[in-house]
């Protein structure tokens, strides 16, 4: 007689409720446009993916009001000495890390100003540690270590909107008085409920069912780009449409700075190089010197008085809370 061994329930914990209904999510359902994908030629596969990708911008467009509100939140937070902290897991966490890491070189912000928290830690950027995303306790622990406060904006990223690690972290930050938002691709999720504002980009089913590294991740990249670029622009770290706060740490960025000064002030390359040198290799200082016809100490004073807002420094309007 053959007897069956009952399952070991002690070593097989029940998944959190937030992941049990994953099959109901639009990002997990099969995409009719890509049925039979494995039988298609390379060019047919590329066309299908490209056609689906075209839906992403339209989905993001519907969330512009919420994105704009978060842009102003972040600008106000940074102006008042607060931080933007992203938190995510898997592909969403990697998108968050990318946006946070690119702010210092492009806008000369401190690495502390825009941060990211990744489920599994920095090692998870290259080596997946996906099991961590199921832990609410780890999410709370990791955000608690950053001591979120009323000055901060916390943004949770989760394509499904149900990642326990992210939901718990955002809920904890909200309890501590931080302003919270989320970027997700499904309606009616626990993450949206845990956040003050939900940015929802409904991109629909993925070409490969459930592969949210595709359209969902693309929408998250677009939205994080909008948030930080918009906030830095509102802070005055962009002049016209020029990235004047660029940190000139290599030859490419030095050339970029020279080119921006030439365009903004309609001057020769030699003149731009001379002024940048006299400005201590600072494009904002050089720009204020040229536009306001002042020396370096006066340009530095104006920038300090305007909280780094280049246009206000040129016009000598002082600081602003707007």
What span, in angstroms and rounded, lies between the C-alpha atoms of 88 and 268? 46
Task: Pinpoint the residues of the chain covered by CATH 1.10.8.1080.
Answer: 251-315
**What pTM was computed for the model?**
0.86
Query: What's the token pair of residue 20?
Result: 């049990």
CA dist list (Å): 256 to 108, 232, 246 = 14, 18, 8
- HEC-encoded secondary structure of 159-182: CCCCCHHHHHHHHHHHHCCCEEEE
> By the 8 A CB rule, do 89 and 158 touch?
yes
Architecture (CATH level 2) of domain 42-234: 3-Layer(aba) Sandwich (3.40)
In 3D, which of 83, 63, 50 has the Cα closest to residue 187?
63
Task: Pinpoint the residues of the chain covered by CATH 3.40.50.10490.
Answer: 42-234
What span, in angstroms and rounded, lies between the C-alpha atoms of 153 and 82? 8
In 3D, which of 145, 188, 146, 139 has the Cα closest to residue 164?
139
* pLDDT tens across the length of the chain (322 residues): 333 334 443 333 444 444 446 667 777 776 777 778 889 999 999 999 999 999 999 999 999 999 999 999 999 999 999 999 999 999 999 999 999 999 998 899 999 999 999 999 888 888 766 667 889 999 999 999 999 999 999 999 999 999 999 999 999 999 999 999 999 999 999 999 999 999 999 999 888 988 889 999 999 999 999 999 999 999 999 999 998 998 787 788 889 889 999 999 999 999 999 999 999 999 999 999 999 999 999 999 999 999 999 999 999 876 554 4
Active site residues: 102, 133
Residue 156: enclosing H or E segment and its boundaries?
strand 153-157
> By the 8 A CB rule, do 155 and 173 touch?
no
Q: Where are the alpha helices (H) located in the chain, listed in sequence order?
A: 17-20, 42-61, 64-79, 90-107, 136-144, 164-175, 190-194, 215-234, 251-265, 269-278, 283-292, 296-305, 310-315
**Angle CA(144)–CA(145)–CA(147) in degrees, nearest 5?**
65
Domain 251-315 is found in CATH 3.40.50.720 = no
Region of residue 107 (left: phi > 0; alpha: psi -120 to 50; beta: else): alpha
CA dist list (Å): 129 to 12, 28, 126, 157, 220 = 18, 21, 9, 16, 20
């Amino acid at each position: 007689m053959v007897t069956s061994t009952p399952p070991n329930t002690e070593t097989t914990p029940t998944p959190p409720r937030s992941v049990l209904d994953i099959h109901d999510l639009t990002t997990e359902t099969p995409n009719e446009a890509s049925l039979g994908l494995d039988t298609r030629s390379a060019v047919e596969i590329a066309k299908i993916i490209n056609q689906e990708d075209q839906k992403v911008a339209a989905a993001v467009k519907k969330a512009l009001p919420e994105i704009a509100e978060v842009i102003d939140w972040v600008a106000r937070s940074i102006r008042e000495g607060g931080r933007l902290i992203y938190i995510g897991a898997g592909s969403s966490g990697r998108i968050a890390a990318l946006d946070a890491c690119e702010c210092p070189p492009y806008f000369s912000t401190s690495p502390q100003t825009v941060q990211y928290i990744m489920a599994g830690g920095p090692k998870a950027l290259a080596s997946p540690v996906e099991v961590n995303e199921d832990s609410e306790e780890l999410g709370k622990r990791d955000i608690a270590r950053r001591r979120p406060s009323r000055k901060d904006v916390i943004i949770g990223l989760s394509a499904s909107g149900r990642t326990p690690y992210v939901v718990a972290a955002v809920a904890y930050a909200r309890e501590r008085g931080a302003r919270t938002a989320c970027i997700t691709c499904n309606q009616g999720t626990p993450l949206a409920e845990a956040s003050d504002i939900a940015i929802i980009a409904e991109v629909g089913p993925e070409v490969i069912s459930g592969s949210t590294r595709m359209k969902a991740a693309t929408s998250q990249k677009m939205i994080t780009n909008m948030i930080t670029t918009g906030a830095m622009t509102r802070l005055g770290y962009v002049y016209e449409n020029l990235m004047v706060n660029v940190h000139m740490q290599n030859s490419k960025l030095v050339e970029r700075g020279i080119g921006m000064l030439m365009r903004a002030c309609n001057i020769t390359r030699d003149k731009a190089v001379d002024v940048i040198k006299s400005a201590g290799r600072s494009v904002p200082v050089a720009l204020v010197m040229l536009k306001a016809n002042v020396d370096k100490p006066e340009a530095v004073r104006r920038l300090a008085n305007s909280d780094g807002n280049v246009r206000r420094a040129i016009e000598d309007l002082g600081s602003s809370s707007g």
